[in-house]
Homo-oligomer: A and B are copies of this chain.
Amino acid sequence: MRQKFTLITLGVKDFQKALAFYEGLGWKKSEQSQETYALFPLGGIILGLYPLQELEKDTMLSYQQTVFSGMTISYNATSEEEVDAVMQEAERLGAAIVKPAQKAFWGGYSGYFKDLDGYVFEVAYNPFWKINDEGNLVM
């Protein structure tokens, strides 16, 4: 098994609204997207949006709402100002602010929001981590 995940799929309750949220961030979906399956290439991984009931069928699991599933997805910004701008943009598009952006004990600056389906996203600026020209964290 290579050291890789290829795709994150978010099961969404209202496909058109979820699509509008991610497109509202300025993101462009791949031409390989289908009518109710949006694929956003993120450089090394794809974000997929898929109707929740279809994902339930495919996994053979029943969705059960949770306050916090224990998993977060992060966007590393290049400055504190960018963190603030992204948090505001997400809120404007209907996201719920979980934790307003603030100084973090580890020396950075971060906040959390939930998207329209309740998935938890961190927006962070970490002055100790480098971001390369492709927008990736350098490890």
- Chain A interfacial positions (CB closer than 8 Å to B): 1-12, 25-28, 30, 32, 39-47, 52, 55-56, 58-76, 82, 85-86, 89, 98-99, 104, 110, 112, 117, 119-120, 122, 129, 131, 134-137, 139
Of A1, A10, A89, most buried by chain B (CB within 10 Å of CB) is: A1
In the assembled complex, the Cα of A101 lies from the Cα of B79 at a distance in Å of: 43
A7 proximity list for chain B (CB < 8 A): 73-74, 76, 122, 137
In the assembled complex, the Cα of A111 lies from the Cα of B81 at a distance in Å of: 42
CB-contact partner of A71 in B40, B68, B76, B119, under 8 A: B119
A39 proximity list for chain B (CB < 8 A): 139
